[in-house]
A = this chain, B = another copy of it.
């Protein structure tokens, strides 16, 4: 592992009294605020504690180290985003694929942009803490929701839904991230977001397995190098 050595990232103890719960909450909230204000690299445990109205020692009662603090905040964030994706997936159950793709992209985009400062700050914590397990859990959760949704579409069947779904999500997550990383003027970012919907629709359309009344329209040229499943 490159960036991180072996460190416990889970909470150290859970509060038993109401006062303690409030303290813990204050610390987590303060962490987000400091994160947004100065970024993860310049975030200081003392600063977080001060912002939360507590002392450093208190913070260390609940978290074994700075990394665990960032880990906890990231976990909460992923949970919110995953939940809102799951919601649209339920809402779009049984719709047409094109409509699903559009709703999915828009929901994810909205979830990221509503708290865009937080999003931007959290994209950077990966450098301080190894958040791979969180990314993995988040991805798996979303994959399940979207694949269930796509499987319910009446207008499309896919030869290998798993890989199509995985590709679509990888591209969605990545494209949105790229948009955050670059400092594109808003109109361009919106343009790309619109095109992204169009791109996802085109991909799904092209990845469809031809339905019953097929054989009518054939691909113009034989598509040569295009394989589907994992190699």
Please report the C-alpha to C-alpha distance between residue A175 and residue B167 in the assembled complex, in whole angstroms: 8
Q: Nearest Cβ distance between residue A205 and chain B, in whole angstroms?
A: 7
* Count of chain A residues near B, Cβ 8 A: 67
Binds B, one of A19-27, A126-134, A146-154: A126-134
Q: How far does the alpha carbon of A230 sit from the alpha carbon of B176 in the complex, in Å?
A: 16
CB-based nearest B residue for A198: B226
What are the residues of chain B within 8 A of A183 when measuring CB–CB? Answer: 132, 136
Most buried by B among A38, A228, A231: A231
Evaluate contact between B195 and A163: CB separation under 8 angstroms.
Answer: yes
Contact A175 B170 (CB under 8 A): yes
Kindly supply a per-residue 1/0 record for chain A positions 1-21, scoring 1 wherever the CB is within 8 Å of any chain B CB and 0 otherwise.
011110000000000000000
- Are B181 and A178 in touch, CB under 8 angstroms? no
Complex Cα gap A166–B197 (Å): 14
Across-interface contacts of A59 in B (CB, < 8 A): none
Q: How far is the CA of A184 from the CA of B202 in the complex (A)?
A: 25
Collect the chain B residues with CB atoms within 8 Å of residue A120's CB: 2
Cβ of A114 under 8 Å from chain B: no
